[in-house]
Amino acid sequence: MLDKLYFIHKNTVKTAPLKFKRYLYAAVDWQARCICITGARGTGKTTLLLQYIQEHQPDVEECLYLSADNVEVSAAGLYNIAGEYFSYGGKTLVIDEIHKYPAWQVELKNIVDTFKDKQIIVSGSSSLSIKKGKADLSRRMAYYDLRGMSFREYLNLTKNTGFASVPLATILREHVKIAQGVLKQTQVLKHFNEYLQYGYYPFVTEGIGTYLQKVLGIIEKVFYEDIAVVGNLKRKNVVTIKKLLWIIATSTPFTVNIDKLSRETGVSKSYLYDYLEYLQDAGVLAGVYAEGKGYKLIRKPAKLFVENTNLLAALCGALRSESEQGTVRETFFVNQLGQQHKVSYSEKGDFAVDDKYTIEIGGKNKDGSQVANVNNAYIAADRIEIGHGKKVPLYLFGFLY
């Protein structure tokens, strides 16, 4: 059994590119005994694992990579493989796409509890099944979530730049200097427009001709392999959830009105709340709640956004008309800030960040009249290369991670 798995391991690991690494690579404590890398489909979890193996644990007799959906793995069983591998001196077992293995929670828990002196690293889509199984393993595993590429990462991957991430406070304070440095290396506005359409997922390097089709494929898998399975939903329920997503994606932006949604979809309010939670937990939607410390206790978000601008482009067929650019800008902002910061809906401006900053989003002619008397208020302006004062180029918020 191990001979076949060793062969698969060697042929898989050697294909991993090492030049470009995602932001999470340096953040993971790879020495932890039990690690779980989650993330939406297509964000590069497999590549991240293979890069680590190549650079730090290249000996297959000490570190073994498995994909949980491989037929050899399914036939032998995860627990049986772990037992045999560790009995021959193996030290680390890396299990990719673990959510695709039946009853993975039970077998993973048994592996972790039985082989206490061995390292276990797993990955899985940030699907509902992973979130559901996290409760049983939360005390045993260190969890890390891999998001799609930031604008900074897109530039580094596709334009061979070498930009480092910049903290939010530094961007707000030194945005003119930072923007000048960016402009020395790249045509930033042109590439920013590209990123909004096809830069969030690393498979952009495979070509842009079929990129949005692949994004739509991700959405279909989320519906039928994640939401339908975990929610135990019938096909007609999935169709309703797809309609719900379409309504939200085509709004500018979507302010949550449960009564109106219930009428438009023909679904009761209680089920609507469940469906919206499914879409958020599956990484398709992002909810922005009202400003305040208790916002997480409120089930209904103030606004809903498609999780990233590439999903928005795939669902709507294009980057929308000029009159709808506001949705694209706000979607980008919520997505990029959400990785590290709390983003809330604010009545004073468009968003409150960490209950500290107020941000108004707009085009190049946006002025500060709406937030003129608000402390720590800034304009995030699209289609400008360099800002001034409290007016910051929108693209710079893509340098946070």
Calculate what percentage of the chain has a pLDDT beyond 70: 93
pLDDT at 136: 66
The secondary structure of residue 114, as a DSSP letter, is H
Among 132-136, 192-196, 242-246, the range of highest mean pLDDT: 192-196
Lowest pLDDT segment from 56-65, 80-89, 115-124, 265-274: 265-274
The DSSP call for residue 187 is: -
Q: Which residue has the higher pLDDT, 325 or 386?
A: 386
Classify residue 266 by burial, with Cβ atoms within 10 Å: 0-12, 13-18, 19+: exposed
Would you give the distance in Å from CA 49 to the centre of its chain? 16
* Angstrom distance (rounded) from CA 305 to CA 327: 8
- Non-local CB neighbours of 320 within 8 Å, separated by 6+ positions: 312, 327, 328
Per-residue confidence band for 298, with pLDDT thresholds at 50, 70 and 90: low
**Among candidates 213, 214, 208, 161, which has minimal Cα distance to 188?**
161
322, with CB counted inside 10 A (0-12, 13-18, 19+), is exposed
Q: Return the structure tokens found at 91.
A: 């030290």
Closest CA to 54 of 118, 3, 98, 10: 10
Please say whether the dihedral angle defined by the alpha carbons of residues 295, 300, 302 and 306, taken in this order, is positive or negative: positive
Q: Where does 213-371 show beta strands of DSSP type E?
A: 254-255, 285-290, 303-306, 343-345, 351-353, 357-362
The pLDDT of residue 293 is 52
pLDDT tier, 170 (very low <50, low <70, confident <90, very high otherwise): very high
Q: What is the pLDDT of residue 324?
A: 80
Q: Among 397, 390, 396, 336, which Cα is nearest to 182's?
A: 396
**Residue 351: is its pLDDT beyond 90?**
yes
Of the two residues 338 and 298, the one the predictor is more confident about is 338
Partners of residue 146 on adjacent β-strands = 39
Evaluate if residue 297 carries a pLDDT over 60.
no
- Domain spans of the chain, in order of start: 2-146, 153-399
- Structure-token pair, residue 266: 């023909």
* 58-to-10, 12, 52, 62, 65 alpha-carbon distances in Å: 9, 12, 9, 8, 10
What value does the mean pLDDT of the chain take?
Answer: 92
Backbone torsions φ then ψ of 54, nearest 5 degrees = -55, -45
Structure tokens at 116: 């206490």
Q: Does domain 2-146 have CATH number 3.55.40.20?
A: no
pTM of the model: 0.93
pLDDT in tens, 198-239: 999 999 999 999 999 999 999 999 999 888 887 888 989 999
Contacts 24+ apart (CB under 8 A), 12-20: 12/50, 12/65, 12/67, 13/50, 13/53, 13/54, 13/58, 13/65, 14/54, 15/50, 16/47, 16/50, 16/51, 16/53, 16/54, 17/47, 17/51, 18/51, 18/54, 18/55, 20/156, 20/157
What's the CA angle centered on 121, arms 92 and 143, to 5 degrees? 150
Supply the angle between the helices 188-198 and 151-158 in degrees, to the nearest 10. Answer: 100
**pLDDT at residue 132 in the model:** 64
Question: How high is the pLDDT of residue 64?
Answer: 98
Distance CA 208, CA 105 (A): 37
